Amino acid sequence: MKHICVLPGDGIGPEVVESAVAVLKAVTDDLQFEYAEIGQSALKKVGSTMPDETLELLRKCDSSLFGAITSSESLGEASPVLRFRKELDLFANLRPVKNYVNLAGRPSIDVVIVRENTEGLYTQNEQYDDKGVTTLRRVTRAASERIVRFAIDYSLKNARKSICCVHKSNVLRASDGLFVSIFRELMASEGRVLEAREQLVDSAAMKLVNSPHEFDVIVTLNLYGDILSDVAAGTAGGLGFAPSGNIGRVYSVFEPAHGSAPDIAGEGAANPTATILAGAMMLDHLKMRNEAVSIRQAVKSTYDSGHLTTDIGGRHGSRSFTDHVIGRLKRGDS
Ligand code: GGG
User: Does 158 share its domain with 64?
Assistant: no
Distance CA 134, CA 96 (A): 33
User: Does 223 share its domain with 265?
Assistant: no
Residue 246 located in a structural domain = no
Distance CA 99, CA 232 (A): 10
For the CA atoms of 101, 234, 67, 86, the dihedral, rounded to the nearest 10 degrees, stands at 130
Annotated catalytic, 226? Answer: yes
User: 255 in helix, strand or coil?
Assistant: strand
The last residue of one of the domains, among 175, 209, 236, is: 236
Distance from Cα 73 to the centre of ligand 1, integer Å: 12
Whether this prediction's pTM lies above 0.75 is answered by yes
138 backbone dihedrals φ, ψ, rounded to 5°: -110, 130
Q: Are 111 and 230 in contact (CB under 8 A)?
A: no
Distance CA 91, CA 8 (A): 22
Q: Are 149 and 183 in contact (CB under 8 A)?
A: no
User: Does 145 share its domain with 230?
Assistant: yes
User: Does 262 share its domain with 216?
Assistant: no
User: Does 82 share its domain with 201?
Assistant: no
Residue 241 located in a structural domain = no
Pocket test for ligand 1, best of 17, 66, 70 (most atoms within 8 A of CB): 70
Residue 39 located in a structural domain = yes
Distance CA 323, CA 291 (A): 17
Region for residue 271 given its phi and psi (left: phi exceeds 0; alpha: psi -120 to 50; beta: otherwise): beta
Annotated catalytic, 202? Answer: yes
Signed CA dihedral, 302, 306, 311, 312: sign only? positive
Query: In whole angstroms, what separates CA 72 from the centre of its chain?
Result: 20
Distance CA 232, CA 241 (A): 10
The last residue of one of the domains, among 206, 236, 266, is: 236
Q: List, for the chain, all residue ranges whose pLDDT scores fall below the cut of 70.
A: 75-76, 333-334
Nearest to 115 by CA among 26, 236, 224, 195: 224
pLDDT of residue 75: 66
Residue 242 located in a structural domain = no
Pocket of ligand 1 (CB under 6 A): 11, 68-71, 81, 255-256, 258-260
Distance CA 64, CA 80 (A): 15
Residue 102 located in a structural domain = no
User: Does 287 share its domain with 212?
Assistant: no
Distance CA 37, CA 42 (A): 5
Q: Which of 10, 176, 216, 230 is catalytic?
A: 230
Residue 225 located in a structural domain = yes
User: Does 261 share its domain with 296?
Assistant: yes
Cα→Cα distances 294→15, 237, 299, 321, Å: 22, 21, 9, 16
User: Does 205 share its domain with 287?
Assistant: no
User: Does 135 share its domain with 217?
Assistant: yes
Annotated catalytic, 168? Answer: yes
Distance CA 159, CA 111 (A): 13
Annotated catalytic, 122? Answer: yes
User: Does 112 share its domain with 230?
Assistant: yes
Residue 100 located in a structural domain = no
User: Does 231 share its domain with 255?
Assistant: no
Pocket test for ligand 1, best of 49, 64, 71 (most atoms within 8 A of CB): 71
CATH code at 69? 3.40.718.10
Using the atom order of ligand 1, give the atom closest to the CA of residue 11.
Answer: 12
User: Does 303 share its domain with 195?
Assistant: no
Nearest to 196 by CA among 260, 148, 249, 253: 148
Domain containing 112 equals 107-236
Helices (H) and strands (E) in the chain, counts: 11, 12
The last residue of one of the domains, among 201, 236, 271, is: 236
Q: Which of 86, 100, 154, 168 is catalytic?
A: 168
Q: Which of 10, 176, 216, 226 is catalytic?
A: 226
Q: Which residues pair with 255 in a beta bridge?
A: 244
Residue 156 DSSP code:
H
Q: Are 189 and 137 in contact (CB under 8 A)?
A: no
Q: Mapped to the 3 state alphabet, what secondary structure does 262-325 carry?
A: HHHCCCCCCCCHHHHHHHHHHHHHCCCHHHHHHHHHHHHHHHHCCCCEHHHCCCECHHHHHHHH
* 91-109 pLDDT per residue, tens: 999 999 999 998 888 889 9
* 178-208 pLDDT per residue, tens: 999 999 999 999 999 999 999 999 999 999 9
pLDDT of residue 334: 63
Our count of domains for the chain comes to: 2
CA 265-28-92 angle, 5° bins = 65
Residue 326 located in a structural domain = yes
CA 253-255-256 angle, 5° bins = 165
